[in-house]
């Protein structure tokens, strides 16, 4: 699913110094017509998505999900979770709007996480030391610490998750 990732997300780098060298202001503007992400100033937009415009109006359509996806040793049909099919298979008039799932309130979650078993990180790629279907995935990850810890900075301060401040507001 790398094509989906590239269409929905992007990967950016700072031209002069790494983002980790200083604090930055990350901004997400979200209203009924668009979602925009930028760093430090509005003129350096990293992502801007208009909602409900163009040939692919909804976020689901813009993502370009495949019709089927691998799930272990079989393929599963990928369906839009924001639409509801009627008995004749018609998905028009579903539960979500073009902005779904961003047509409802969200919580801001800030954390530092590693790995997962949801399929986001494919098995057997990049030296991932666990398999998604393993009942001992967390233990497998922990036992491989000698391998993955080599990729982390040696200075503890350089691998800290630091947040200077958080501001949130809602348009009235």
Q: What is the pLDDT along the chain (172 residues), one digit of tens a residue?
A: 444 445 555 556 666 777 778 888 888 888 888 888 888 888 776 778 888 777 777 888 888 888 898 887 889 998 888 775 444 444 455 567 788 888 888 888 888 877 788 877 888 888 889 999 899 999 999 999 999 888 888 888 888 888 898 988 877 7
* Residue 70 three-state SS: strand
* C-alpha closest to that of 58 among 25, 24, 28, 93: 93
Residues in contact with 132: Cβ distance below 8 Å, sequence separation at least 6, in sequence order: 117, 118, 119, 123
Q: What's the CA gap between 138 and 117, in Å, rounded?
A: 9
Q: What's the CA gap between 113 and 4, in Å, rounded?
A: 22
């Amino acid at each position: 699913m790398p094509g989906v990732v590239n269409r929905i997300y992007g990967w950016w780098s700072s031209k002069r110094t790494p983002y980790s060298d200083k604090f930055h202001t990350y901004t997400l503007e979200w209203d009924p017509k668009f979602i925009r992400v930028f760093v430090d100033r509005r003129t350096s937009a990293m992502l801007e998505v208009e909602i409900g415009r163009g040939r692919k109006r909804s976020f689901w359509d813009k993502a370009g999900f495949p019709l089927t996806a691998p799930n272990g040793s079989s393929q599963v049909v990928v369906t839009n979770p924001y639409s509801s099919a009627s008995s004749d298979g018609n998905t028009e008039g579903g539960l979500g709007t073009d902005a779904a799932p961003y047509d409802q309130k969200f919580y801001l979650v800030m954390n530092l996480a590693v790995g997962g078993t949801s399929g986001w990180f494919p098995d057997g790629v990049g030296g991932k030391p666990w398999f998604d279907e393993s009942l001992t995935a967390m233990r497998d990850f922990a036992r491989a610490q000698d391998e993955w810890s080599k990729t982390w900075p040696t200075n503890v301060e350089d691998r800290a998750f630091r947040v200077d401040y958080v501001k949130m507001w809602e348009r009235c």
